[in-house]
Amino acid sequence: MSLWEGLAVALLLLSGALVVTLRNAIHAALALILNFLVLAGVYIALDARFLGFIQVIVYAGAIVVLFLFVIMLLFAAQGEVGFDPLVRSRPLAALLALGVAGALLSGLGGLKLAFGKDLQGGLPGALGPLLYGDWLLVLLAVGFLLMAATVVAVALVQPSRPLDALRPEERAQEVVR
């Protein structure tokens, strides 16, 4: 493991640990952005340049910002809410997570992989023929899924009746929300 690899792995794990432990949800989302930016750098180092840029634009730029919007919209920055029905479940959860890590590592350690395939830098020119060839059906299915998700998201957050049709006290409540 070279110096840069070690640094990248350490940064990934540190920011990931911050995401799951920070008490303020906004800070956790910002730590997630840091994690995604480091991950984008790792992608570029692993010959996946297009994916690295997509990671920055779509994940860090769009998805996490959407998270931040919702956290601020719902005033949900407080991470610890209500009472904890399972007292002191953290060590148990940590044990379980370590078990998952052990199972994954033992599975990955048994693989005999020969790295060093020529990926042409993972640029769009190399990915395009695959995406529009063997993976065309997948591409179309994902496009359909995205459209369905957009329709669902709009339908979910719509008020049950349009704002004009609400009674005055209901409208006041809707504005407060």
Partner 1 sequence: MSFLLASALLFALGVYGVLTRRTAILVFLSIELMLNAANLALVGFARAHGLEGQVAALTVIAIAAAEVAVGLGLIVAIFRHRESTAVDDLSELRG
Nearest-angstrom CA–CA distance, 19 and 21: 6
Of residues 85 and 168, the one with the C-beta less far from partner 1:
85
Residue 16 near partner 1 by CB under 8 A: yes
| Residues in binding contact with partner 1, number by CB under 8 A | 87
Rounded-to-integer distance, Cα 33 and Cα 62, Å: 10
Full DSSP string of 68-118: HHHHHHTT--BSS-S--SSTT-HHHHHHHHHHHHHHHHHHHHT--------
Site for partner 1 in 92-151 (CB under 8 A): 93-94, 96-98, 100-101, 104-105, 108, 113-117, 119-120, 122, 126-127, 130-131, 134-135, 138-139, 142, 145-146, 148-150
Q: With respect to partner 1, which residue has the nearer C-beta, 140 or 164?
A: 140
Q: Which residue has the tokens 């005055």?
A: 168
Q: Which residues pair with 78 in a beta bridge?
A: 24
User: What's the rounded Cα separation, in Å, for the pair 26 and 79?
Assistant: 9
Closest to partner 1 by CB, 50 or 171: 50
Using CB under 8 A as the binding rule, whether residue 29 contacts partner 1 is answered as: yes
Instruction: Write down the least CB distance from residue 50 to partner 1, Å.
Output: 8
Which residues within the stretch 41-100 sit at the binding site for partner 1 (CB under 8 A)?
Answer: 42-43, 46-48, 50-51, 54-55, 58-59, 62-64, 66-67, 70-71, 73-74, 76, 78-85, 89-90, 93-94, 96-98, 100
SS3 74: coil
Binding of partner 1 at residue 19 (CB under 8 A)?
A: yes
Question: With the C-alpha atoms ordered 39, 44, 50, 53, is the resulting torsion angle positive or negative?
Answer: positive
Nearer to partner 1, 148 or 163 (CB): 148
